[in-house]
Amino acid sequence: MLLAVLCLVAVLSFIVISTLEVSLQHAGMQQTRQGMMRARQLAEMGVAVAAHPLIKPGDPALLGKISAIESFKATLSTEEARLNLNHLLTPERLPVLERLFSSWGLSSADAQGIAACLMDWTDADDLKLRPDSAERKEYERLGHPDRPLNRSLASLDEFDLVARSEEVRAARPDWRSFFTLCGNGQLDVNEAAAEVLVAMTGAALTNARQLVHKRNGLDGVPHTADDTPLRSLEEAVTLLGLSEQQGADLMPLLTLHGLTLRIESTGRAGDERCGIVVTILRDDSGVERIAEWREFAVEGRRS
């Protein structure tokens, strides 16, 4: 009898402890979910502030501290600070892509081969641009008979499906931050990074860095009160050390003010982080529409 009672007590204790553990786990998950939802809300707050027409890049309102554990941080730039990948996929502009890949440490042959793979992915025919690029037959051999799509990229995610794209991802894990699919293909000389300016124009990296340095003002930080933005494309061409002819050829591909607004906002609630990127298109009459709204993973987020 005593043994039976002891067994019963042991079983009941096991059930109580197990239930407690499950409850604690459930409470933990609930807390994480709530934290994540709050982080998303805070990121959305940052987007709302950044999208206000009176807010300019570097405005203090873009940093919001709600409490010791809740905050958001938003940045404003333009999509034209990036290279429009679809616009580069023409025989005349392919060297821009090849220069960029080479600057990431890929050999000249690999840079040309991978750029050709992207060309073949989008051009209508099934003829390989180079022996080391890929069209239908090569994709079939790789087990993908439905590739290439033979049309312009519809999203940057599609890049992962292109042959040899893994070589780019290995050379530059943050490759995505160099590209956009928005805008008319012009590059914003007041927002683009030095490496992007080099790829687009063929200028020396030292000159491109000097341009960025000049743009950022004495404090070396973009979007602060001491910035001295470029006032003309001629000034940009001179700073980049390009010849008059090179400048004349490049002018149509450059702009002083990109029109496609890019907002990146990160919300933080305790250990949870949420990032949102929003692209806002403006037409000639000033009417705005959201072209993209995407959440992205933020480093440091608890998994």
Among 32, 216, 238, 246, binds Ca ion (CB under 5 A): 216
Amino acid identity of 69? I
Residue with Cβ nearer Ca ion (226 or 249): 226
Residue 232 touches Ca ion, criterion: CB under 5 A: no
Helices (H) and strands (E) in the chain, counts: 10, 9
Amino acid identity of 115? A
Residue 224 touches Ca ion, criterion: CB under 5 A: yes
Residue 103 touches Ca ion, criterion: CB under 5 A: no
Residues 120, 135: Cα–Cα separation, whole Å: 6
Residue 150 touches Ca ion, criterion: CB under 5 A: yes
Residue with Cβ nearer Ca ion (122 or 201): 122
Question: In terms of residues, how long is the chain?
Answer: 303
Minimum CB separation of residue 148 from Ca ion in Å reads 5
In 3D space, the residue among 76, 49, 73 whose CA is nearest the CA of residue 63 turns out to be 73
Residue 217 touches Ca ion, criterion: CB under 5 A: yes
Piece of 82-90, 202-210, 218-226, 267-275 that binds Ca ion (CB under 5 A): 218-226
Quick note: the x/- pattern for Ca ion over 108-147, rule CB under 5 A, is ------------x--x------------------------
Minimum CB separation of residue 247 from Ca ion in Å reads 26
Determine the distance from the C-alpha atom of residue 284 to the mean position of all C-alpha atoms in its chain, rounded to a whole number. 25
- Which residues contact residue 196 at a Cβ distance below 8 angstroms, ignoring those fewer than 6 apart? 81, 82, 83, 100, 178, 187
Residue with Cβ nearer Ca ion (89 or 278): 89
Q: How many other C-beta atoms are found inside a 10 Å radius of the C-beta of residue 286?
A: 8
Is the previous residue joined to 148 through a cis bond, with omega within 30 degrees of 0? yes
Residue with Cβ nearer Ca ion (204 or 221): 221
- Interaction with Ca ion in 270-299: which residues (CB under 5 A)? none
Minimum CB separation of residue 227 from Ca ion in Å reads 4
In 3D space, the residue among 92, 96, 53 whose CA is nearest the CA of residue 76 turns out to be 53
Amino acid identity of 151? R
Instruction: State the residues that interact with Ca ion by CB under 5 A.
Output: 120, 123, 150, 216-217, 219, 221, 224, 226-227
